[in-house]
Amino acid sequence: MSEDFLCEANNSAINIRSQVLHFITTILKSMGWKLDEYNLIDNSIVVDNENFASREMVDELFVEVTKTNLQSVNSLNFEQKVAFNLIMSKINNNESGGFFLDGPGGTGKTFLYCALLATIRSMNHVALAIATVGIVASILPGSCIAHSRFKIPIDSDDQLNCSVSKQSNLAELLRAAKIIIWDRAFMAKRQAIEAFDNMLRDLMDYQLLFGGKVVVFGGDFHQVLPVLPKATLEQTKEASLVKSKLWSELKVLTLTQNMRLRFNASFTDYLLRVGNRIEPSITYNNIRTPENILLPYDNDEIFLNKLIDFVFPNIFTFDANNDILINKAILTPKNYYVDDLNEILIKKFPGEKIIYRSHDDNTAFDSLLLEEDFLNTLTPNGYPPNELVLKIGSPITLHRNIDPSKGLSNGTRLTCRTFDRNVIDAEISTGHHKRERVFIPRIPFLPNKIEKFSFPFKRVQFPIRLCFAITINKAQGKILDTVGVYLPEPVFSHGQLYVALSQATSSRSIRVLIKLAKNNATIMGCTPNIICKDILELAHPNLCHHSYNLIVHAFF
């Protein structure tokens, strides 16, 4: 890096050192870290984090306000307008307010956030946007991931705290913020949101909800709840926002009109019935998939090829320069099936393959020395595979937050462009940084503190996976043109079936394949739908399921 700065005319050694440190600090800061936490540099070199930190404020004030987002205020529907006016009145009157924007997928929550952010930023105020998951953070302008923005530890099951000092520039930024919008809040542990509330009260020296700020959470309780490693359903429910003492203090603003599927009313109704668990069960918990989106199960190979052909037609002759693949995916419940499908699809994808193997070792963790060959066979949760098989033009997702401010978050979709020994040159395919080229390095993966690995080890590998197929949980927030849902076994947690089905933009662009159980215990086209009714009832206490006002059409 210093050689790059050396190219600048008359650059002195001191200048170069300062520019390199500044650059590294900026990258670390975007992930919520500091250079001096790493003991990488000599103590004689002082890194003035405070000086660099003012960049955060500059970054926020310079987030581009697009004309489209500003003008979208004029096309808000009635419900969006009501929510917009209520929130803006709090801003304009300098009042506090805690809101929860509640709406099923496609009801225009993101559209409304963008309108709010653009309006408030155009008034030269600081408006912070954050999201629980990286992929959503890359959709909202100027957005960050909640955990890195508020320095909330992700691999701790203890009482959570935000480690933001009152003197830091981040504190200054939070104090200046007129509004904080937190999307996919239901996917965060309630303890994280409570820690966020405590932090704001502390920073503002004001014991009112969120320290007197306007905070808008948003999400859809029909979707997947916080993902906690090895937790029971009860523990997951306990960690949900509706179980927090803060929930009763939030004003719930409801959006019901599905803007994504507004020309497909019967499919919208079906999705809501699935999400609310009122689609009639055929046998215990099993619901029938509508015939026009179902691929009948025949035999293993034939049925899978039919699904692949629907989602990726003509994959053998696919043009590697075309990026339409990025808006297509097969969704399935577990990583195990994702890997199988990706292996099949990368073989079908045209071009020469390149294989990147990881370097694995456990010497730092255990006196028991394990052979690398054995470690290579393991892929613990959160680790990339030992062997990555890629081709030019193949779609990949990032599995680490490398540089969120540059669009490189956990979940970002990219397309492989060229391969080098130690870096992969890829093009960002979604969000505000779409079409930008980036270099992805190999990084070390270490055991997560919560998940107790049988054999803790370090894997050095590119933080990516192929994404022809992705897990249903990872699909949340993605907008896909063509979706295949592959259920070789039933979904296993709240809202997964609903999430899988609701990623499509119409019933014409989705097909579902349900494998029959070996003991013939399942009925063709039927699959379990897991929805925790008590979560929905806590989220919508005044809404018994008859009052959802569904127009239940005969399906299609």
Ligand X SMILES: Nc1ncnc2c1ncn2[C@@H]1O[C@H](COP(=O)(O)OP(=O)(O)OP(=O)(O)O)[C@@H](O)[C@H]1O
Neighbours of 547 (CB within 10 A): 9
Residues 383-410, buried b or exposed e (16+ Cβ, 10 A)?
bbbbebbbbbbbbbbbbbbbbbbbbbbb
260 versus 399: smaller Cβ distance to ligand X: 260
Residue 527: in which H helix or E strand, if any?
Answer: strand 526-528
Q: Binding of ligand X at residue 259 (CB under 6 A)?
A: yes
Least separation in angstroms between residue 218's CB and ligand X is: 8
102 versus 279: smaller Cβ distance to ligand X: 102
Q: Binding of ligand X at residue 76 (CB under 6 A)?
A: yes
Q: Binding of ligand X at residue 108 (CB under 6 A)?
A: yes
DSSP conformational letter for 554: -
**Closest Cα partner for 424 from 446, 397, 457, 458?**
397
**Closest Cα partner for 189 from 157, 163, 164, 221?**
157
106 versus 393: smaller Cβ distance to ligand X: 106
Q: How far is CA 474 from the centre of its chain?
A: 7
Q: Binding of ligand X at residue 498 (CB under 6 A)?
A: no
- Report the residue from 141, 226, 395, 477 that binds ligand X according to the rule CB under 6 A: 477
Least separation in angstroms between residue 217's CB and ligand X is: 13
Cα separation, 498 vs 530, in Å, equals 9
Q: Binding of ligand X at residue 80 (CB under 6 A)?
A: yes
Least separation in angstroms between residue 174's CB and ligand X is: 24
Least separation in angstroms between residue 477's CB and ligand X is: 5
- Report the residue from 103, 226, 404, 484 that binds ligand X according to the rule CB under 6 A: 103
Residues 224-259, buried b or exposed e (16+ Cβ, 10 A)?
bbbeeeebeeeebbbbbbbebebbeebeebebebbe
- Report the residue from 28, 56, 83, 109 that binds ligand X according to the rule CB under 6 A: 109
184 versus 190: smaller Cβ distance to ligand X: 184
DSSP conformational letter for 333: S
| Encoded amino acid at 282, one letter | I
Site residues for ligand X, 309-348, by CB under 6 A, read none
- Report the residue from 18, 19, 49, 77 that binds ligand X according to the rule CB under 6 A: 77
**3-state SS record for 3-63:** HHHHCCCCCCHHHHHHHHHHHHHHHHHHCCCCHHHCCCCCCCCCCCHHHHHHHHHHHHHCC
128 versus 200: smaller Cβ distance to ligand X: 128
56 versus 220: smaller Cβ distance to ligand X: 220
| Size of the chain in residues | 556
Binding segment for ligand X (CB under 6 A), chosen from 102-110, 116-124, 233-241, 295-303, is: 102-110
Binding segment for ligand X (CB under 6 A), chosen from 108-116, 264-272, 407-415, 515-523, is: 108-116
262 versus 353: smaller Cβ distance to ligand X: 262
- Report the residue from 25, 30, 69, 110 that binds ligand X according to the rule CB under 6 A: 110
Q: Binding of ligand X at residue 106 (CB under 6 A)?
A: yes
Least separation in angstroms between residue 101's CB and ligand X is: 9
In 258-394 the beta strands, taken as DSSP E runs, fall at 281-283, 286-288, 294-295, 328-332, 354-357, 359-361, 387-390
Least separation in angstroms between residue 129's CB and ligand X is: 13
Binding segment for ligand X (CB under 6 A), chosen from 57-65, 100-108, 197-205, 377-385, is: 100-108
* Beta-bridge partners for 466: 396
Least separation in angstroms between residue 340's CB and ligand X is: 27
Q: Binding of ligand X at residue 220 (CB under 6 A)?
A: yes
Least separation in angstroms between residue 505's CB and ligand X is: 8
Dihedral (CA of 19, 21, 23, 25) sign: negative
Backbone angles phi, psi at 57, to 5 degrees: -65, -45
Q: Give the footprint of ligand X on this chain (CB under 6 A).
A: 75-77, 80, 103, 105-111, 220, 259-260, 477
